[in-house]
Structures are given as C-alpha cells and as structure tokens.
A and B are shown apart, each in its own frame.
Chain A
Amino acid sequence: MIKEAINYLSSPLFSFTAFIILFALAMKRIDIVGTKKFGWGLLIFVLVVFVWMVSDPVFFTIISLPDNVPIIILNGLVFWSTWYALYRGHQNDLRIEAGEGPIEGTPENREKVWAWPNLVYTELFAGILCTIFLIVWAIFLKAPLEEPANPTWAPNPAKAPWYFLGLQEMLVYFDPWMAGVVLPGLILVGLIAIPFIDVNPKGNGYYTFKERKFAITGFLFGWLALWVFLIQVGTFLRGPNWTFYGPFEYWDAHKVVAENNINLSEIIWIKMLNMGLPKNIFVREIFGLIATFGYMFGTIPLITKKWGQSYLERMGAIRYYIMLALILGMMSLPIKMYLRWFFDLKYILAMPEFELNL
C-alpha cells in the first residue's frame, strides 16, 4: 500500500515538483537546514528509509547492479557535501551577524603552513586511499562482459554511462540538437563563464550563504534539481523502453503507458482552431516561433524590471545579459518538462524539415 503510493508519487511530475518545493524550502529556511541537529536528523531519516527500501526485493535488484552501487555512494556524498557547505555557511552567517567575522578569518585559521610536508603528505595518503578503493571496487563490482556490438540491435533499456543519464533523461523532452548539443554546450560555456560573470568578492575564502543567496541558490538548483535528480530518475526509475517505473515496481517490458505527444502547432491549429495544419511551415509554426522568441527576448525586460535592476547596476550590462541568457537557457528544461507532463506537448517549434525542433 505504502509502496504503491511511493511508486505512484515517484513519477517525474510528482517527484520533480516535490524536489523543487523541498529545495526552495531548504534555501528559505537555512537557519534550520544549516544546523547539526538537522543534519543528524536527515541522516537518520534517510538511513532508515533506505534500509526499509532495500528490504524490498525489486528495489534491491535495481540498486545492487554493479553500475548502480557507486551511484548510491555518490548520492550520499552529494547530500553530505551540500549540507556541510550550507552548515558552514550558516555558522559564518551567524558570526558575521554578531560582528565576529567568518571563522576562516580568525588569527588561528590564518596561520600559514608549508606545502611540503603538510599538503603533499595529505595528497599522498588521499592517492593511496583512492587506489585501494578503486581496487576493491574493481574486484567486487565486475564490469559486465556483453556480446559483440551489433549495429542493428540495441539493449533494452539502452542506458548511457551513469554520469550522462541526466542528459539522456533531458533527451526525453527535447530534440537531440537541443538536449545533445545546445544545452550541454550552454552548461559547459556557462560553467566556464561563471568566474567572469560573477565578480562579487564576497564569499572568497570563506563559507557563507546569506551574502551569496542568489548565486548559491541558482547554482544548486541547476546542479541538484536539473542534473543530480535527473540522473536518479534515469538510473533507478527508467526501465525497458525507457518507460517510467516506480522504485518498487517490477520492470515489466510490456507495461503500457499512454503518452501520445503532439506538437504545439497541432494543438492550436487542429484542436483549438479546427482548421488542419497550414501548408507553409512558417505559418504552421507561427505560434511556436512567437513563443520561442517571446521567451528568449520578450522576458528579458520583464525580468529586469521586476528583479534585475539592482543586479544590472552592480554587474554591468554585458555580464547581466549574459547571465540572464544562461538562466533562461537553464530554465527552458524544467519549463519543457512541465509542458510535456501537463499538455503532452512534444515540440513547441517543430520543423523536422530543417531538423529544428524546440
């Protein structure tokens, strides 16, 4: 009963929405999240739930695949490092509020040490430990040896390496040009551009949350909700035919899911106007063109007027508009996901004649 409810609620629409709400709450109430009490409570809660989930045979089969065990370990590390950074930031925020300055700035923490032996020794031991870990991993979790490659056959489900499963999940909602080239390119260019866009010296050399609220929230949203979360969905919740399966649901290759998707042009011309698709593709896609250009350019003055004025003044026009373009690119992913879930929308702009589909 509970398991069925979890299966139902872990469908992308519900679980992604819940994840975003929890994320927003966490960013709002950092005074609760950034305490040791919360950290321990969360750890115990997650461990108890995890042990309960592992006791289910179906869930255990999925997570005990050699490919998936390291992802479980990495989940723990992502959770821990995120919480730890927020905790340290919150501690410093309290100190800064009390007028004491960040803990990294105290005289005992400003003391300088030699790279040799202090740093080099640490690196040596870290290297040895990593080697041991990798050897143990290689011994106990064997890479599967499969049959020779066959260009006319694909395994079902065909999964990318785990670190690309977020991208593969993105591809469910986009044309390969968008989710395979444009958005990953934006991610890379955006990450490279961060130090040039973000010239705010606050937070350099010390943890803080309050002084860098927007930057931290924006980055963590892209990282946790749009990358880590999608990897979880792609790894644990996508089975044969890339159909969604709940964590306790048997991967039945014949599970039938109705997901007839239609393009925006079909929704408007056929369903709403009862006209049939126009012959000229630019007339056919006029609404998609309007929506795309409206989103890419029309929203900029609105956002600037409502939230961006102070950023525009502080950052300068070039940095500000580049940042806005990157954020709009990032937000196009959750927007498209919700459009798919609510309206079965396939493409806003569908021009397969030019291989252009958004």
Chain B
Amino acid sequence: MSEEAKTSLNRREFFSFLAVGWITFGAATAGFASLIFRYLYPNVVFEPAMDFIAGLPDEYAEGVDERWKNGFGVWIYKKDGKLVAMSNICTHLGCIPTWLPAESKFKCPCHGSGYYPNGINFEGPAPRPLERFKIFRNPEGKIIVDKTKVFRYEKGEWNNSEAYIDV
C-alpha cells in the first residue's frame, strides 16, 4: 500500500471509529446522568423518627404539652383521663400552628386558622381538626407515639382504641 491510501478509511474502519465514538459519548452522558441522579438524594436526612418514646403518663400535666413539638412535631394533650398525641401540621395548608397558652388555642401563622386545645378547628379556613397519631403503652408503661398511623376526626376515628390512652 502506498502512503496516500492510508490517509482514508475503509468501510470497516469507519464503523469501528463510529462505534468507539458513540460508546465514549454514551458512557460520558450516562456517567453525568448518574451524577445528577445521585445529586437528587440528600447525603443526610434530618427527618425526625416516625415513632418515639414519650415517657410516663404521670409526667404530663392536664392540658397541652409542647415538649415533643420541635423534635417530633407532636403535641401531647391530656384531658379528662385521656391522653392523645396531636399532629402539629395545620389541616389547611400544612403550616405549623403556634400554641398560645394565654388564649388557650392553637393559631396558624400562615392563614389564621385556629384550633381549640383538643385540636378541633373553630376559626380561619382550616377545614378539619388536627390529626391524631397512634399512641400506646409499652410493657414498661411508657408512652409510645407512632406517627405512621393517623386518626381523623371527620372520619370518626378519634374513638378508636389506638387513638388515645386512658390515664
């Protein structure tokens, strides 16, 4: 073969170059896409645990207790021998209401929904009462709040035996 003939590709060589090129391009794209995909998942998740031990029933005074609000998003409410765990998420648009001890009500800072201490909505746009979580006692007598199970008033679920504990 002469020197000149080597400068051009034959059909087989052309396709092998093409294949190498596409494989490289595809691998680079896939690698980049996988990086993006990885980026969508956070390295650390600061989500509170879905269930927690809330101590003994005697530790709670009558009324609303805020000690688990910042850690777990739960208010404990004790009244007339019943102890319940209330969600702190407003049923209107999911803001976090403030407990106002002086007015004895929960008041949402976003659109002004108001709730009685037992979680029943009475003012503002909230369409339904605060949700309650599953609550029970472990063998040692300590309270366990399980946020994976929710009880809704308008569905008549607050009388469910898991929705409260007798104290």
Contacts and interface: CB of A to CB of B under 8 A. Distances in A.
- Indicate, yes or no, whether A interacts with B: yes
B103 interface: yes
Contacts of B124: 172, 242, 259, 261
Contacts of A157: 109-110
Interface in A321-358: 346-347, 350, 352-353, 355, 357
A92 interface: no
A308 interface: no
Contacts of A175: 92, 125, 127
Interface residues of B, number: 33
A353 B91 CA distance: 12
Interface stretch (B6-14, B69-77, B78-86): B69-77
Interface string B89-107: 0011101101010110001
B145 interface: no
A157 to B, nearest CB: 5
A172 B112 contact: yes
A240 B48 contact: no
Contacts of A152: 48, 69-73, 88, 96
A176 B102 CA distance: 29
A180 interface: yes
A144 interface: no
A50 interface: no
A241 interface: yes
A153 B97 CA distance: 8
B154 interface: yes
Interface string B147-167: 000000011000000000000
Interface of A: 150-158, 168, 171-176, 180, 240-243, 254, 256, 259-261, 346-347, 350, 352-353, 355, 357
Question: Lowest 8 A-B CB distances belong to which pairs?
Answer: A242-B112, A156-B109, A154-B96, A352-B128, A152-B73, A241-B107, A158-B109, A259-B123
Interface of B: 46-48, 69-73, 88, 91-93, 95-96, 98, 100, 102-103, 107-112, 114, 122-125, 127-128, 154-155
Given A151-B47, A172-B111, A176-B93, 12 more contacts: A151-B46, A152-B48, A152-B72, A154-B95, A154-B110, A158-B109, A174-B125, A180-B93, A254-B102, A256-B103, A261-B124, A353-B154
